[in-house]
Each structure stands twice: as C-alpha cells, then as structure tokens.
C-alpha cells in the first residue's frame, strides 16, 4: 500500500489527524507494514508448568500485554499469576461455588470479573485483589461473562435464560436481557460497545441494544444449541457455532443470514474471527478445525491431526497462526493460510480445554 495515500485517505475522515501529526501517523503505518512483513519462525517451548489449583481449572485468560494471567477453578477461587516468573500473585476468594467464567477488562487490565455457579459475579482490583462489588440478581449459575472494550460495563450470561448488564463504576445492574427460552452460554460485545449478542441452548442468538436493553434481532436458523458467537472487529458480521455441526455468518446490522459454513461431521464447539474479520476458524468435536474466508464463505484450510475433539480455537493477533486445544491432551499451532501443523504442544496429562495468545503473539497459555 502507498503509505502517504493511505494516510491522506484516513485524514479525510478523521478530524483529529491534523497536519502537525501526519508525519507521525505515516511513521506508525510504516512500522505496521514492517511488522506485518517480518518472517516468523517462532518455536514455542514449554516454559513453565504451574500446579495451580486443588481442583480442575475452568478457564484461563491473559491481560493484553500478557504480563499477567488468571485461572478460574472448581476450587471456588480465581488466581492471578505473573507470566514471566510463574509466581502466584494473589488468590481471589469469596465465591461459594465453582468460578466458571473469568475476564480481564482488556485493554486496561486493572480489573477482573469472575462469574460463578453461586449465581453471582464479582468485580476485583487486579492490583490489590480487593473485591469492589458482588453483582447479585441471577437465579441460576453464571456461565459466561464479558467486559465491553470501553471498560464501563460487564455482561453476565446465566442458566436462568437471562443476561444482565452491570455498571462497573456504580456497581449497579443496568439491564436484564430477557427473551431466550433456555440457558445463555455465550455472549459478546461488539467493539463499539453499543450492541451485545447472546447465544442460547434455545438454538438462537439474540442481538441487543446495550443502551436500552432492547432486542434488535433474533438470529434463527440453527437446529441445535449454540456453542459460541462473536462479532468481527468492525462490527459488520456475526459468526455463530452450533451443536448442529454448522457455523453461520450473519449481517450484524440487519440480522440477515449470509451463509452456512458446513463441512464438520460433529458438533462445533468454538468459532472465532481473526482480528481483521477476514477469516473464521471453527473447532469441532470431530477432532478437526477449519478456516473459512469471510468474503467468499469458502473453506480455505482443514486442520487435521488431533486425536480427539477440539474445544477451543483462536488466531494469534497477527492472524497468521491458529492455536487449537484438544481433549487428546495436546495443543497445536497451525499455519492459518495452508492448514499445516507447525507444532504440537505436549506436556499436559489430561484434556486441554482452554488456550490463549498474548497480544504480542509470542506466549501461549494452555489450561487443563
């Protein structure tokens, strides 16, 4: 791309880029080009094994830089860890049942939310471990949660068929999203924070207006429980994965069905977009993952080699690698364009159900 022309184009629609800072923006774009052009031969090696909890883990998550990560567990706690030293920094205690869903308020990372089978969500300070608020109101287990990118709100999804939005400054409930007829197992804000989607065992995904709590669209078409749902980065598309063995692509603004991505022979357990929203990766109980082109809707790569179901799939931030976690006790790293397996990450003695890249893409965390 011609950098100068690109910056001129950006400048037209962005009043904050004044003449004084054009040079700086040109430099940033050149740096980005350079970074994208770098060849990566990064091999991941086992760095640390952390015996984390007394009982099995439920989830793992990095802060944006990857300097810290958190683990949730059946032992009713969430632990905060230093990535480089592998040292446990603190234990967040107070839930009366399994801590199932956990998240940092990335990109800031100064708060942690934990959702539990005790029907509550707690908001914690990363620095002190102090519990700011306990959000009460759900009548059944909380199984999914998410911060908006603006870090003003946390959303919780529950087995009680509702999702709730909470104001993290005031510690108050903002809205209850009612309308599903079965458990909500997936939820996701768009990047602008004005919409949220909820995926349910009732086979549908609902699109909600965050400001009013009103349901805007119901995405109907799947013939099985929804396992995961996500917006792409520019908020134009929604991808949904289901136990009906298919993945569907939807127009986020209108709620219209754009395509059904078929090919798997068993339930789809996870779906995700890359950061640019050009590719979609699916993980299935059939032991394979697939990569689809979001524009052509065609399958461009099949990732085959795991000996058992794949429960988690994610792209690295650059979008050239895919990471899968499987119940065959391994995680695998794949080339997103060709589908070739680049590395098998071994060492776990039980199924891996959670995995993540840090933002830089040079560290991986796997949990079992």
Residue 319 has, within 13 A of its CA and on its CB side, a CA count of: 16
Average pLDDT of span 234-250 = 97
> Does pLDDT of 330 surpass 90?
yes
Sheet architecture: strand order including 257-261 = 226-231, 237-242, 247-251, 257-261
> Does pLDDT of 40 surpass 80?
no
Average pLDDT of span 316-341 = 95
Structure token pair of residue 176: 């209850």
Tens-place pLDDT, residues 302-322: 999 999 999 999 999 999 999
Q: What is the pLDDT of residue 131?
A: 98
Average pLDDT of span 144-170 = 97
Higher pLDDT, 53 or 226: 226
Q: How confident is the model at residue 41 (pLDDT cuts 50, 70, 90)?
A: low
Whole-angstrom distance, CA of residue 353 vs CA of residue 116: 18
Average pLDDT of span 46-67 = 86
Average pLDDT of span 265-283 = 96
Domain edges within the chain: 1-30
> Does pLDDT of 284 surpass 70?
yes
Interstrand relation of 111-116 and 121-125 (parallel, antiparallel or unpaired): antiparallel
Q: How confident is the model at residue 224 (pLDDT cuts 50, 70, 90)?
A: very high
Q: What DSSP character marks residue 94?
A: -
Q: What is the pLDDT of residue 52?
A: 75
Whole-angstrom distance, CA of residue 26 vs CA of residue 238: 32
Q: What is the pLDDT of residue 322?
A: 97
Tens-place pLDDT, residues 101-125: 999 999 999 999 999 999 999 999 9
Tens-place pLDDT, residues 177-206: 999 999 999 999 999 999 999 999 999 999
Average pLDDT of span 290-295 = 96
H or E element, residue 26: helix 22-37
Q: What is the pLDDT of residue 353?
A: 85
With a pLDDT cut of 90, the percent of the chain lying above it is: 79
Q: What DSSP character marks residue 19?
A: G
Q: What is the pLDDT of residue 33?
A: 83
Please tell me the total number of residues recorded for the chain in this structure. Answer: 368
Our measurement of the distance from residue 350's CA atom to the centroid of its chain's CA atoms, rounded to an integer in Å, reads 23
Q: Is 277 strand, coil or helix?
A: coil
Mean pLDDT of the chain: 94
Q: What is the pLDDT of residue 14?
A: 87
């Amino acid at each position: 791309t011609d950098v100068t022309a690109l910056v001129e184009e950006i400048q037209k629609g962005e009043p904050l880029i004044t003449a004084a800072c054009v040079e700086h923006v040109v430099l940033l774009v050149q740096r980005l080009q350079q970074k994208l052009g770098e060849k990566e031969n990064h091999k991941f090696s086992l760095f640390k094994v952390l015996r984390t909890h007394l009982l099995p883990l439920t989830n793992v998550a990095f802060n944006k830089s990857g300097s810290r990560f958190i683990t949730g567990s059946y032992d009713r706690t969430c632990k905060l860890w230093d990535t480089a030293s592998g040292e446990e920094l603190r234990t967040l205690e107070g839930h009366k049942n399994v801590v199932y869903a956990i998240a940092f308020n990335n990109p800031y990372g100064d708060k942690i939310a934990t959702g539990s089978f005790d029907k509550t969500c707690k908001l914690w300070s990363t620095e002190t471990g102090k519990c700011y608020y306990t959000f009460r109101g759900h009548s059944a287990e909380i199984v999914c949660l998410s911060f908006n990118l603006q870090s003003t709100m946390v959303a919780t999804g529950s087995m009680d068929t509702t999702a709730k939005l909470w104001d993290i400054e005031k510690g108050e409930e903002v809205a209850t999203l009612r309308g599903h007829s079965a458990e909500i197992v997936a939820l996701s804000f768009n990047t602008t924070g004005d919409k949220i989607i909820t995926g349910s065992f009732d086979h549908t995904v609902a699109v909600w207006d965050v400001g009013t709590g009103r349901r805007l669209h119901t995405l109907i078409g799947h013939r099985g429980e929804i396992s995961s749902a996500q917006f792409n980065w520019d908020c134009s598309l929604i991808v949904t994965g289901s136990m009906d063995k298919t993945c569907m692509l939807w127009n986020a603004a209108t709620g219209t069905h754009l395509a059904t991505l078929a090919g798997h022979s068993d339930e789809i357990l996870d779906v995700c977009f890359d950061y640019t929203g050009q590719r979609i990766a699916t993980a299935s109980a059939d032991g394979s993952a697939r990569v689809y082109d979001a524009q052509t809707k065609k399958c461009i790569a099949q990732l085959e080699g795991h000996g058992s179901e794949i429960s988690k799939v994610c792209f690295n931030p650059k979008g050239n690698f895919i990471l899968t976690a499987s119940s065959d006790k391994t995680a695998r790293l794949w080339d997103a364009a060709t589908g070739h397996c680049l590395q098998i990450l071994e060492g776990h003695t039980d199924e891996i159900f959670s995995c993540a890249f840090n933002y830089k893409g040079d560290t991986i965390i796997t949990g079992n």
